Chain A
């Protein structure tokens, strides 16, 4: 089966985001951008399924500014076969992304779509579920284990209080949780090789999808700052503080 893996270019997870002084958003000028960490896990899982002989081809797709091409090249260097870049101006909301991915899925007919469970910029955690609704496929969200047997996909999911296992009929949607796997690093030869792998350039108009925003961001502000704390010298002083808080008798 073909596997489709959507990836997103986001502010690197090690960078502390800075809110713009005018409150219009987070400053993304001249900061390091990387592939969303959950998407790296999705790419890794797809490649592992290909190495096991389950998948025949891994297609990566990204939606956003032209620089998202770098993110796709990273995925190609990890082992994906080809890439699709859908260039769109400004931020595309999860619903718009899901509609574009539905159009790509209609065209490519994958047996499995693996997405990250959430992007670490908007923290929405929506796209995979929305794509599942639009395609009418089953969804295995927050996956910590994925097994494909014929046209059945068995997904172990991380849920509040533990884990649960669901069985889905392929084609299906899977979203990755952190413990699904440890993504590989792309080696230098593979990075060089990735440069010659196919990358198709598209626009939302090519798919006839309207990606108009439904939500308007009125303001982005800093979270409330915690007032500076104190340091205590020893355990006795800490015990006294705990007693003052009323948590210890």
Chain B
């Protein structure tokens, strides 16, 4: 069986999410990686070094620069004549593109898999992670997206794949990229961080969010996250959001501060290794999943904690 993996990148380097997808794909068969972009030779060279990648296809064309699904999906669907499965990480690009590929191939997609049970059987979360479904696909070709935190990351060295050029139809003429606003952060990336400090609505304001959460995160070398309530209230930008509708994370330590623990939030972080909760409401649902809980006023506790570290 041969598998084509979508390489997530920014036309300069390979994004970490790709590495978990390579591991998942490796459980199915020979892994080839697709780099679609503009001026992405460096990305292809980097992808060729990933352990487990046998070949890299580089589709270098201005039409693929921003990974617009309208342009990229036909490219992938065309290449799929030589593959049994297409695997993409569950990133915003992966989720945008993969279903379009699946429909072009007339196959169902298996979203956000947690494990590969066999060549056609996978587990995936449903109902915001409150249930795990084991599903078997009857389609000849599989289209799969992979939950990054459920698989080990493939090593970024040790591979020696060849890089070959690939091409597709190019610009479909349906859409164009206007611009992007990427939030700047000096801290580790949320989905890749070992430690995450996350704040909720109890922080009360944007100023207090930064005044309380940021120093602790800096002390711990942690990424900063937020609950949907905190994001909706404008305390934190929306790419901080951890949850069913935001990012799914599984760090070694997750510190939930002033977060009640709604189902939607838990779906995004309950696979963290150790969960620490600081909340003044001792009946908050977050304490049902927390390994270590401290009941009290976060405005007193967190600065004291930061001071003692």
Chain A residues near B (Cβ < 8 Å): 11, 13, 16-17, 19, 26, 93-95, 98, 120-134, 136-142, 144, 154, 157-169, 172, 177-179, 214-223, 226, 229-239, 241-242, 245, 247-249
Q: What separation, in Å, do the CA atoms of A144 and B178 have in the docked complex?
A: 15
Digitize B158-178: 1 where CB-to-A-CB distance is under 8 Å, 0 elsewhere: 000000000000000111111
* A217 touching B182 in the complex, CB below 8 Å, given contacts A123-B127, A245-B274: no
Q: Is there an interface contact between B126 and A123, defined as CB atoms closer than 8 Å?
A: yes
Q: Is there an interface contact between A162 and B183, defined as CB atoms closer than 8 Å?
A: yes
Total B residues in contact with A, Cβ cutoff 8 Å: 87
| B223 CB-CB contact with A under 8 Å | no
Chain B residues near A (Cβ < 8 Å): 66, 68-70, 73, 91-93, 95-104, 106-112, 121, 124-139, 173-183, 191, 194-195, 219-220, 228, 232, 237-239, 244-245, 247, 252-253, 263-264, 270, 274-276, 287, 289-295, 301, 304-305, 308-309
Q: What separation, in Å, do the CA atoms of A166 and B132 have in the docked complex?
A: 35
Interfacial chain B residues near A216, Cβ < 8 Å = 135-136, 138
Interface of B is mostly: mixed
Q: What separation, in Å, do the CA atoms of A214 and B101 have in the docked complex?
A: 16
Q: Is there an interface contact between B175 and A247, defined as CB atoms closer than 8 Å?
A: no
Q: Is there an interface contact between B111 and A124, defined as CB atoms closer than 8 Å?
A: yes
Q: Which residue of A lies closest to B185 (CB)?
A: A161
Q: Which residue of B lies closest to A227 (CB)?
A: B291
* A17 touching B103 in the complex, CB below 8 Å, given contacts A123-B126, A247-B252: no
Q: What separation, in Å, do the CA atoms of A16 and B237 have in the docked complex?
A: 28
Q: What separation, in Å, do the CA atoms of A26 and B130 have in the docked complex?
A: 9
Q: Which residue of B lies closest to A141 (CB)?
A: B96
Interfacial chain A residues near B247, Cβ < 8 Å = 160
Interfacial chain B residues near A138, Cβ < 8 Å = 70, 174-175
Q: Is there an interface contact between B127 and A214, defined as CB atoms closer than 8 Å?
A: no
Interfacial chain B residues near A124, Cβ < 8 Å = 109, 111
Q: Is there an interface contact between B107 and A214, defined as CB atoms closer than 8 Å?
A: yes
Interfacial chain A residues near B139, Cβ < 8 Å = 214
Q: Is there an interface contact between B133 and A164, defined as CB atoms closer than 8 Å?
A: no
Shortest CB-to-CB span from A76 to chain B, Å, is 26
Interfacial chain A residues near B128, Cβ < 8 Å = 120, 123
For the A-B complex with A163-B180, A226-B275 known, give 10 more contacts whose Cβ atoms are closer than 8 Å: A133-B103, A139-B70, A139-B175, A222-B132, A223-B270, A231-B294, A235-B301, A237-B294, A238-B301, A241-B292
Q: Is there an interface contact between B138 and A214, defined as CB atoms closer than 8 Å?
A: yes
Q: What separation, in Å, do the CA atoms of A174 and B247 have in the docked complex?
A: 21
